[in-house]
A and B are shown apart, each in its own frame.
Chain A
Amino acid sequence: MTAAALRLQGVSCTFISKDDPGQRYTAVQDVSLTVGAGEFVSVVGPTGCGKSTLLNVGAGLLQPSTGTVEVFGQPLGGLNRRAGYMFQAESLMPWRTAAQNVMAGLEFRGAAPAEAKAQAEQWLQRVGLRGFGDRYPHQLSGGMRKRVSLAQTLVLDPDIILMDEPFSALDIQTRQLMENEVLQLWQSKRKAVLFITHDLDEAIAMSDRVVVMSAGPASRPIGEFTIDLPRPRDVAEVRVTPRFIELHNAIWGVLREEVLKGYRQQLAA
């Protein structure tokens, strides 16, 4: 058996307040999660359940308090060099044009400028932004900026793609377009994807497997569902198939309780 692309084992993350060391907050506790090579795994859960924390651990941006992270069988120390990370917030460098942003990673890794530029142009075209290469991020719409981010991440051809609610800020139409684009790109490249979202529909429509997290603090996976919908899928069309609704009901049954719990906790806080 080949090693999983990304394996988190018994990962816990406890944050200590800087001002008051007595204040501790355990975001995730004892999380074990595996993403196989070429597998598309989504993690869903109520807000504030530490989904992003998990992703940061997988990226190597955050050291877990306990537990281990393995990348293709190798223990992870420092940044995860084989992963590309698409952030939830604006992550483009505002002082670089779209093309310069896309080629940034290649440049950092020492590629020849001409080669990097050609690849950046190619990727901009692939995400439907041909001719927008010399625009600055503030001159692009939110959806376009997300596409640039996508191109910026994928141009490096990472073996693992980490996505943190990448489309949560987009309107529903743009969002479905982007989801389909991502699925198409994934279909052709078959990379391991760890996709974080709070949108159950999105998770089911796109993934091979959906992991449900409990409400925080100290959240952990409480359910795992294999999505056996046929591929290729269209995210809009697949939503109305009976199997989708069946899966949705099954997962929602688990998630509902946690969402309510998370909501009550937020009200109490």
Chain B
Amino acid sequence: MSDPLIIADRTFTSRLVVGTGKYPSHAVMKAAHEASGTEMVTVAVRRVDLTKRAESLLAWIDTTTIALLPNTAACYTADEAIRTARLAREAGLSNWIKLEVIGDQRTLFPDNEALLEATRVLVSEGFVVLPYTNDDPVACRKLQDAGAAAVMPLGAPIGSGLGIQNPNNLLIIKEQARVPVIVDAGVGTASDAAIAMELGVDGVLMNTAIAGAGDPVAMATAMRHAVIAGRLAFRAGRIERRRYATASSPVEGLVTGRAGRS
């Protein structure tokens, strides 16, 4: 059953986007990426350390099968995010950007006003903009109208592992979206990813849930299956919730039943 995820001009088989931060080692990261089946990973843009020769992250990412999605993590203003995006484009020779404009240090919630402003500027410069945003249907609609190629509402605060806090908002966001909806942040374990996908969103992005797990490679495998399972369940169409039982076995022909009773 072919069910690709299409964002802008790219087609993905996998609906799982994975980060490259916080792994115990580059080798574990690479193994986790392979186990996850991901076809796109996020990377950050930072000053080169001129005091030591650090190994390039890119040596550990097979860019023939995995696309790079640079982010503007840790940017707190539209200007910082725009500047970082322009550098990322030059460093990666790609115009895709995961746009983050953070509004609060403790929650890492986005500054939606600045996010919208940065989205408009970057779209006008030809970027494919994937903004990280609140689970706010109005914010998502505005970002979409500003030209975002996808909207990426959070499930819960970044790195919190709290799971999907507001499934109803995600349903509304998906219902009104004309671009893909990727749940970005908040996943803690496989069931969280499955729940997100069962809501009908188009994909899930996670970093800490895999990188911070006791066994990142095993968790990456679990996440791969969870995203696939959640997507299949959504497409299959779940049964309605009912307060009382509905028997699965026929009630007719019971050996203890009275003859002729129907």
Tell me, yes or no, whether A binds B.
Answer: no
